[in-house]
Amino acid sequence: MELQLTKEEEAFRDKVRSWLHEQLSGPFRDLRGRGASGDQESHVEERIAWGKAMGAAGWNCIGWPKEFGGRGCSIKEEAIFNEEYVRANGPGRVGHIGETLLGPTLIHFGSPEQQERFLPPIVSGDEIWCQGYSEPEAGSDLANVQTKATLIGDEWIIEGQKIWTSGALHADWCFVLCRTDSTAPKHKGLSYILVPMKQDTIEIRSIKQMSGAAEFAEVFFDGAKARRDHVVGGVNNGWKVAMGTLAFERGASTLGQQYLFQQEFEQVVEAAKQTGVAKDPVFRQRLAAAWIGLKIMRVNALRMLEHQGTELSREALISKLYWSNWHRDLGKLAMDVMGPRAELIAGPPYELTRMQKWYLFSRADTIYAGSNQIQRNIIGERGLGLPKEPR
Ligand SMILES: Cc1cc2nc3c(=O)[nH]c(=O)nc-3n(C[C@H](O)[C@H](O)[C@H](O)COP(=O)(O)OP(=O)(O)OC[C@H]3O[C@@H](n4cnc5c(N)ncnc54)[C@H](O)[C@@H]3O)c2cc1C
């Protein structure tokens, strides 16, 4: 089962491929493969410049309608683009939260003024966004958000704390889920507010992880200001908008992601040959099982593409649970293949290998964007129609 391309789609693929090749073997050569999972902090300024170059050439936000600055690409063309991007070893994209989460949310829920102000700099790569949802007491239970916004004159004054905010250090803006009516029921008193990050009433403390990386942060709002008209979708309507943002995580990136997984899998096979465990029957079975998982993910992703336009299909419901567990298990297999060498770093400057980095980061895959348990609840309730979890 493969992606069937029309002549036009093949021409589109060739155009993508040659632009990426030209750039990534020319001016942006050093960025190849940088900024992937576990490596998000490397070359950030250069990757922002790369985002601007992509914008200038029309390769950011390609799935957005043309009237909002996109290319109006189909979901299949987006999948082609993502697959080529990974094949070309394109760097991790610093602007992806603006492109994949905030932009579509504004297109759907934003006012014309908000669209006009915020969409063009996402398309050009000039403004970087982060997502301010999670708090110490509000992760899976997102409706428990306590960060408060109070309207004083023409400004919202924000007090509270967010946590695990990816890319907060480099972001220009954050979409912050805030409580704007503490007397209303949990889901009803929230608003979705666009907050500029460069103010001295916002403190960002990076969180260092076991990998040594610190790409996410705690963000403290101590009287931070946002404009009155920068609430998306209406005051106290933030829950609906926040859920809309999560639904915009579309399936188009899955084929690109799988190409990346394929590359990682090949690295593991290569390592197994070098260490000799490729001859061990138990390792051979584990490698075969990983390969089968890859094929299942590909078939599932292609089925998702066929069902584009429908509300979350069954394939989409199981996708996150499947890929995140598969990827975590591949990381474990990679470390077992390496044996004691998995724990060694070659020498100064003591940078972890690519494999060590993605292994460590893969432990987060089953947590962010909905933990395993939450995904199972969703499958049970929405996919299988089981009774709702007691609250
Ligand atoms: C790498 C990474 C990047 C992230 N980036 C961002 C970001 O940019 N912005 C942002 O806002 N957040 C971000 N997050 C936070 C992420 O959304 C939360 O970690 C996630 O929602 C889980 O919330 P929590 O960590 O508070 O865990 P909790 O919700 O406290 O869950 C703890 C455990 O309890 C289980 N559990 C909770 N509720 C239930 C239930 N009802 N039924 C069964 N089991 C349950 C969970 O599955 C989990 O195992 C990021 C997280 C990671 C790991």
Task: Note the pLDDT tens digit of each residue in 276-291.
Answer: 999 999 999 999 999 9
Tell me the H-state helices in the chain: 7-24, 44-56, 75-87, 96-97, 103-109, 112-124, 238-247, 253-275, 281-306, 314-338, 354-362, 372-378
From CA 307, how far away is CA 309, in angstroms rounded?
Answer: 6
From CA 168, how far away is CA 94, in angstroms rounded?
Answer: 11
Which distant-in-sequence residues (6+ apart) come within 8 Å of 304 by Cβ?
251, 254, 313, 315, 316, 319
84 carries an active-site annotation: no
Counting ligand 1 atoms within 8 A of each CB, the residue from 39, 140, 206 with the most, and so the one to mutate, is: 140
Q: What is the pLDDT of residues 226-266, one digit of tens each?
A: 999 999 999 999 999 998 888 776 444 566 788 889 989 99
Counting ligand 1 atoms within 8 A of each CB, the residue from 128, 164, 208 with the most, and so the one to mutate, is: 164
R_g (Cα) of the chain, nearest Å: 22
Q: Is the CB of 147 within 6 Å of ligand 1?
A: no
What pLDDT sits at residue 2?
67
Q: For residue 3, with 0-12 CB atoms within 10 Å meaning exposed, 13-18 middle and 19 or more buried, which class applies? A: middle
What pLDDT sits at residue 310?
42
What pLDDT sits at residue 254?
64
Which distant-in-sequence residues (6+ apart) come within 8 Å of 286 by Cβ?
333, 336
| Pairing of the two strands 129-132 and 173-179 | parallel
- pLDDT band for 307, please (50, 70, 90 cuts): low
Q: Is the CB of 211 within 6 Å of ligand 1?
A: no
Q: If you measure from the C-alpha of residue 361 to the centroid of ligand 1, how many angstroms do you get, rounded to a whole number?
A: 15
Tokens 């990757």 locate to 47
Q: Is the CB of 312 within 6 Å of ligand 1?
A: no
Mean pLDDT of 127-145: 96
Question: Which ligand 1 atom lies nearest to the CA of residue 166?
Answer: 8
From CA 86, how far away is CA 253, in angstroms rounded?
Answer: 10
Provide the β-strand partners of residue 232.
Answer: 192
Is residue 213 within 8 Å of residue 40, measured between CB atoms? yes
What pLDDT sits at residue 211?
83
Question: Which ligand 1 atom lies nearest to the CA of residue 137?
Answer: 26
What is the average pLDDT score of the chain?
Answer: 92
* Burial profile 133-151: b = 16 or more Cβ within 10 angstroms, e = fewer: bbbeebbeebbebebbbee
In a 13 Å sphere around the CA of 250, the CA atoms on its Cβ side amount to 25
pTM over 0.75: yes
Q: What is the pLDDT of residues 40-67, one digit of tens each?
A: 888 999 999 999 999 999 999 999 999 9
If you count them, how many residues does the chain have? 391
Q: From the candidates 41, 218, 249, 351, give the one annotated as an active-site residue.
A: 249
Q: Which residue has the higher pLDDT, 191 or 76?
A: 191
Mean pLDDT of 178-197: 97
